[in-house]
Amino acid sequence: MVKANHMMPDRAEASRTHCIRCGTCCMKGGPTLHEEDAILFAKGILKKSHVYTLRKSEVVRNIDDTLMVLKQEIIKIKGQGEAWSCMFYDDDQSACRIYNHRPLECRALKCWDLRGFKEVMARPCLQRRDLIKPDDGILKILAAHEQRCAYKTLESAVRGLRGPDSDKAVGSILALLQYDHHIRPFLTEKLRLDLNTMDFFFGRPLTTTIRMFGLCVKQEGDTFLLVPAESRKSAQPETKHPKDL
Ligand code: SF4
């Protein structure tokens, strides 16, 4: 499960009055980006391959550890592989690799006093369309993907599993997952896009986020099988992926 926002202090952090470069805030995850951070892309500090999108209606963990359904999409800096740590955090140096150009939330955060950070959190978040030229043909592809693979659609199909036509519901879910899965390498090849930008353009793969509905996908060749999350856990070692539910 991904966190909508990182950097909430523990009780000990709240008693500090200055930064001791412990790195805790950077190790709790990358920041959510705001409109003011668009300039970092214009300057080439941030690239689309550095970030991923959490789409509208995706379920994320809130800063107070409760679950929250996103009312609109947000864009976050990626972690380091399977770890929470922001990809720009240098553990050896306890430093940010882009410190002089760090995003708005990072500049606002004082873990001993969250007033500035909370004010920044309320500012408009960066959206995918802010980083794509208006005449770029990929916008139409994103709209089609959004229409077909919206989380509301997936949620409705998952609800159908409990109804009288559960086989049809399974088929609908697998069709969504297959579409979302195949569009990524297809467009990478067709439009010569970096595969690492796909989580920016299309959000996290549905084969990953389906876990928010208590389901997992087992892939056997080109075939997807839908299984309860618990069965998959017992069938094979869990891949540690803290961004999943
Ligand atoms: S961008 Fe830099 S300051 Fe911000 S979370 Fe990442 S490592 Fe920390």
The SS3 assignment for 231 reads helix
Q: Give the closest residue to 102 by CA, choosing from 37, 27, 42.
A: 37
Residue ID of nearest Cα to ligand 1 atom 4: 106
Angle subtended at Cα 37 by Cα 34 and Cα 42, rounded to the nearest 5 degrees: 140
Q: At CB < 8 A and 24+ separation, what contacts does 156-164 make?
A: 158/213, 158/215
pLDDT of residue 244: 30
Nearest-atom number in ligand 1 for the CA of 88 is 7
Query: Cα(113) to centroid of ligand 1, in Å?
Result: 18
Residue ID of nearest Cα to ligand 1 atom 1: 102
Provide the β-strand partners of residue 216.
227
pLDDT of residue 11: 56
Tell me which H or E stretch contains 208.
helix 206-209
239 Cβ contact partners less than 8 Å away, ≥ 6 residues apart:
82
Using CA atoms, how far apart are residues 175 and 151, in angstroms rounded to an integer? Answer: 14
Tens digit of each residue's pLDDT, the chain (245 residues): 555 555 555 555 557 788 888 898 999 889 999 999 999 999 999 999 999 999 999 988 776 778 889 999 999 999 998 888 999 999 999 999 999 999 999 999 998 888 999 999 999 999 999 999 999 999 999 999 999 999 999 999 999 999 999 999 999 999 999 999 999 999 999 999 999 999 999 999 999 999 999 999 998 887 889 998 864 443 222 222 223 33
pLDDT of residue 7: 52
pLDDT of residue 67: 86
pLDDT of residue 235: 29
| Assigned token pair, 5 | 């926002």
89 close to ligand 1 (CB < 6 Angstrom): yes
pLDDT of residue 237: 26
Whether this prediction's pTM lies above 0.95 is answered by no
Q: Where are the alpha helices (DSSP H) in 97-165?
A: 104-108, 115-121, 138-148, 151-159
Nearest-atom number in ligand 1 for the CA of 95 is 7
pLDDT of residue 116: 92
Helices 151-159 and 166-190: crossing angle, nearest 10°? 150
40 close to ligand 1 (CB < 6 Angstrom): no
98 close to ligand 1 (CB < 6 Angstrom): yes
Q: Give the closest residue to 178 by CA, choosing from 149, 146, 140.
A: 149
51 close to ligand 1 (CB < 6 Angstrom): no
Taking CA atoms, 83 is separated from 39, 86, 242, in Å, by: 27, 8, 7
Strands, E assignment, 117-239: 215-220, 223-228
88 close to ligand 1 (CB < 6 Angstrom): yes
Using CA atoms, how far apart are residues 150 and 76, in angstroms rounded to an integer? Answer: 19
Q: Give the closest residue to 209 by CA, choosing from 51, 17, 52, 34.
A: 52
